[in-house]
């Protein structure tokens, strides 16, 4: 990846308000709806600044970011402020035309985030009302103007579309249209919000400069409702690029459906909502093309397809075969699928090219039960699953996974 740099002054200006916005790793708010498709979102006074009486100790709020009368403010800006001898702050943000902007006070109690990107090239006024230590109300105001609409934007997209129902192992997957520089990823991550009902601890993990995943500490609870918001519209992303838009997605977790395959017994045990409902004979990869041991999730499902390896450099591995009930597990080509040609040895001998072979009847049954994001663990084979070969979020321990966060984990 090429190096990305910015001047210290630019970095300092951005950090001044970005660091004050959200301090936690876990994001707990999301709302709204953007796209239904699965696709690839200094404290100063005067001149519009603070208005305070000079008598007695100072009481009230001081807006620290954006600076009073600031120009070219990113449309993603948050409102950061300090409090002096006052409490119970409320924030109002209005455009020059008097239109109110919705937003939320952040957990630190010292910053307020608009519910979405502000309009470009627009003047805004912040009003903070609070209660002074003497019990009297205080009011302070500050104004700023957002930047013109940028010409260099980054598309931010969610793999999952609105309303999808997925398995308990499904990671939330966000992709960026260009690489996010290392020193901007924490700023971006602070604008990725996840809310689950029931609430479950989770974290974002960068799998590459263009992709970040979110998973809970343990599998999602069956029936969980998830809303996540990518509040990236107008967000600086390095080299003069800004996020193109905000994205909002609502999804639901289906029943818990977990498959476990043991090479020693050559059987698959299927558990649904904690109860074993089926034991299925399987044939795994033969020694020359072993199946990978590890925890994977179903990436895609194809009722009918053709496996074509005619470009394999090893003639022994070349074949072109019609396949029924194929469920992809890895990018390298390991699937669960029906294999009527191996039904005679399933449960006894491994003959596949790395896939999990089941009978035609069991292939059809599994295909009708599973969802994208359902979990399968394979164990006791000759090869270990390589992280990144599929959605391998669950192939890492929680301690390993949090290391992929751009924000230090304090759980």
Please identify every residue annotated as catalytic: 337, 355
Phi, psi of 165 (to 5 degrees): -115, 125
Tokens of 350: 């491994």
In 119-269, which ranges are continuous DSSP H helix? Answer: 185-189
Other beta carbons less than 10 A from residue 389's beta carbon: 17
Q: Is the dihedral of CA 337, 341, 343, 349 positive or negative?
A: negative
Q: How many helices (H) and strands (E) does the chain have?
A: 4, 29
Q: Which residues pair with 248 in a beta bridge?
A: 229
In terms of phi and psi (left: phi > 0; alpha: psi -120 to 50; beta: otherwise), the region of 373 is left
Q: Give residue for tokens 């396949």.
A: 323
Rounded to a whole number of angstroms, the distance between the first and last alpha carbons of the chain is 31
Residue 26 is given by DSSP the state S
Other beta carbons less than 10 A from residue 131's beta carbon: 16
Phi, psi of 125 (to 5 degrees): -125, 130
Whether residue 220 contacts residue 228, with contact meaning beta carbons closer than 8 Å, is answered with: no
């Amino acid at each position: 990846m090429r190096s990305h740099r910015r001047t210290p002054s630019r970095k300092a200006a951005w950090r001044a308000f970005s660091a004050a916005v959200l301090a936690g790793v876990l994001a707990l708010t999301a709302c709204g709806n953007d796209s239904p498709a699965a696709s690839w979102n200094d404290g100063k006074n005067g001149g519009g600044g603070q208005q305070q009486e000079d008598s007695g100790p100072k009481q009230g709020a001081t807006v620290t970011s954006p600076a009073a009368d600031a120009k070219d403010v990113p449309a993603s800006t948050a409102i950061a402020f300090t409090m002096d001898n006052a409490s119970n702050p409320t924030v109002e943000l209005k455009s020059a035309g008097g239109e109110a902007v919705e937003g939320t006070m952040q957990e630190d109690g010292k910053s307020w985030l608009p519910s979405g990107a502000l309009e470009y090239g627009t003047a805004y006024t912040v009003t903070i009302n609070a209660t002074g230590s003497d019990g009297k109300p205080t009011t302070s105001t500050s104004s700023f103007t957002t930047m013109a609409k940028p010409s260099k934007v980054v598309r931010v997209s969610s793999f999952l579309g609105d309303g999808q129902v997925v398995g308990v192992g499904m990671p939330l997957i966000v992709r960026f249209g260009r690489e996010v520089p290392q020193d901007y990823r924490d700023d971006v991550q602070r604008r990725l919000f996840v809310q689950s009902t029931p609430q479950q601890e989770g974290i974002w993990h960068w799998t590459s400069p263009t992709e970040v995943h979110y998973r809970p500490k343990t599998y999602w609870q069956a029936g969980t409702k998830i809303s996540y918001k990518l509040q990236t519209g107008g967000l600086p992303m390095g080299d003069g690029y800004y996020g193109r838009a905000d994205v909002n997605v609502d999804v639901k977790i289906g029943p818990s459906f977990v498959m476990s395959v043991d090479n020693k017994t050559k059987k698959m045990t299927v558990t649904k909502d904690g109860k074993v409902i089926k034991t299925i004979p399987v044939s795994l990869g033969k020694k020359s093309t072993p199946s990978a041991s590890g925890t994977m999730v179903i990436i895609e499902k194809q009722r009918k397809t053709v496996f074509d390896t005619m470009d394999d450099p090893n003639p022994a591995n070349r074949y072109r075969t019609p396949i029924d009930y194929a469920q992809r597990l890895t990018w390298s080509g390991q699937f669960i699928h029906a294999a009527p040609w191996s039904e005679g040895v399933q449960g006894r001998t491994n003959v596949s090219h790395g896939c999990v072979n089941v009978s035609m009847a069991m292939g059809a049954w599994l295909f009708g039960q599973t969802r994208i994001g359902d979990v399968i663990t394979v164990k006791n084979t000759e090869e270990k699953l390589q992280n990144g070969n599929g959605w391998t979020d669950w192939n890492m321990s929680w301690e390993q996974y949090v290391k992929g966060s751009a924000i230090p984990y304090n759980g």
